[in-house]
Amino acid sequence: MSAASTADVPVRPIAIIGGTGPAGMGLALRWARAGETIIIGSRDPLRAQQAAAAVLLKAGPQAKISGTENATACAAADILMLTVPFEGQASLLKQLKPAMTPGSILIDATVPLAAGVGGRASRTLGVWQGSAAEQAAEIVPEEVSVVAAFHNLSAELLYGDLPLDCDVIVCSDDPDAAQLTSDLAKKIPGVRAIFGGKLENARIVEQITALLIGLNFRHKGHAGIRITGLPPGAYR
Ligand SMILES: NC(=O)c1ccc[n+]([C@@H]2O[C@H](COP(=O)([O-])OP(=O)(O)OC[C@H]3O[C@@H](n4cnc5c(N)ncnc54)[C@H](OP(=O)(O)O)[C@@H]3O)[C@@H](O)[C@H]2O)c1
């Protein structure tokens, strides 16, 4: 039997839900450059197409990127990257629930910033479930695995050309979904992925973002995190 050629590998698109903002467009750019097929989702299909066109311009004509309405994007992919503000997260997920395919992975980067309710961006809100990611897990169908990741990456740096200087802590109750997310994280130059344990640890990772935002205000920078002192095998 001959070995499978790359042509036999099925394309597994990544739908970036709420992908028209800085975080979604930054991830779209980096993954498009890495050869991933990207579908940008939006509440407005035209805005999604415009965002896809802007990313295509930066990523180059070989990039595989399109834009459509969130539910259509959701139905067309089984890797769902959620990049919406906390204040829209729950209602959007409830709306998209019927469009989610069983076995899908939802990667959540939501940070429950107090800015969403008129507070400071350097403070977070208490979430009844413990974290935005756990709130997401409560809403999506049982057959959808939730992973928390990418909270600590600067969107501004992601939408640029230089390698990042940041680790991505990946939390999930599903080891396979966590590994797939780590593999995607590693496709971003300068990023290492570290498994951070169960989804309940997302509450800690989400809080770090508020600290980084405070540091950025104070020191006028784009702060990231590096976890040191672990054996090489921890960075996966
Ligand atoms: N910015 C960063 O550096 C960064 C880094 C790490 C994590 N995050 C987190 O990632 C998420 C996205 O960040 P962002 O800066 O890209 O956010 P954003 O620009 O405020 O929002 C992203 C997109 O979400 C959609 N959206 C806004 N309000 C919505 C609502 N009420 N319901 C449904 N969709 C809504 C909008 O798309 P349409 O209008 O086109 O639908 C918008 O373009 C946030 O939770 C943030 O905390 C951000």
pLDDT digits (tens, 9 = 90+) for 151-175: 999 999 999 999 999 999 999 999 9
154 lines ligand 1 (CB under 6 A): yes
Contacts of 126 (CB under 8 A, 6+ apart): none
84 lines ligand 1 (CB under 6 A): yes
CA 209 – CA 133 distance, rounded (Å): 14
Separation in Å, CA 64 to CA 53, 76, 232: 11, 14, 33
Give the closest residue (by CA) to ligand 1 atom 32.
Answer: 88
For residue 121, the CA-to-ligand 1 centroid distance in Å is: 13
The whole-number pLDDT of residue 187 equals 98
pTM, to two decimals: 0.96
pLDDT tens-digit series, residues 23-35 = 999 999 999 999 9
Separation in Å, CA 187 to CA 117, 159, 192, 212: 34, 14, 9, 23
Tell me which of 40, 69, 83, 203 to substitute to probe ligand 1's pocket, judged by most ligand atoms within 8 Å of the beta carbon.
Answer: 83
Among 211, 215, 171, which residue's Cα sits nearest to residue 194? 171
In the predicted model, what is the mean pLDDT of residues 108-136? 94
Minimum-distance ligand 1 atom for the alpha carbon of 48 = 40
pLDDT at 209 over 80: yes
CA 94 – CA 140 distance, rounded (Å): 7
In the predicted model, what is the mean pLDDT of residues 97-113? 97
pLDDT at 126 over 60: yes
Order of all β-strands in the sheet with 37-42: 64-69, 37-42, 14-17, 79-82, 105-108, 145-148, 166-172, 191-197
The whole-number pLDDT of residue 3 equals 41
Give the closest residue (by CA) to ligand 1 atom 7.
Answer: 151
Please, which pLDDT band fits residue 236 given cuts at 50, 70 and 90? confident
For residue 109, the CA-to-ligand 1 centroid distance in Å is: 9
131 lines ligand 1 (CB under 6 A): no
Residue type, 203: R
pLDDT tens-digit series, residues 53-94 = 999 999 999 999 999 999 999 999 999 999 999 999 999 999
The whole-number pLDDT of residue 4 equals 42
pLDDT tens-digit series, residues 210-228 = 999 999 999 999 999 999 9
Phi, psi of 199 (to 5 degrees): -60, -30
CA 159 – CA 27 distance, rounded (Å): 7
Among 156, 142, 170, 152, which residue's Cα sits nearest to residue 211? 152
Among 144, 154, 123, which residue's Cα sits nearest to residue 78? 144
CA 126 – CA 122 distance, rounded (Å): 14
98 lines ligand 1 (CB under 6 A): no
For residue 194, the CA-to-ligand 1 centroid distance in Å is: 24
**Beta carbons of 17 and 40 less than 8 angstroms apart:** no
Please, which pLDDT band fits residue 8 given cuts at 50, 70 and 90? low
pLDDT tens-digit series, residues 177-207 = 999 999 999 999 999 999 999 999 999 999 9
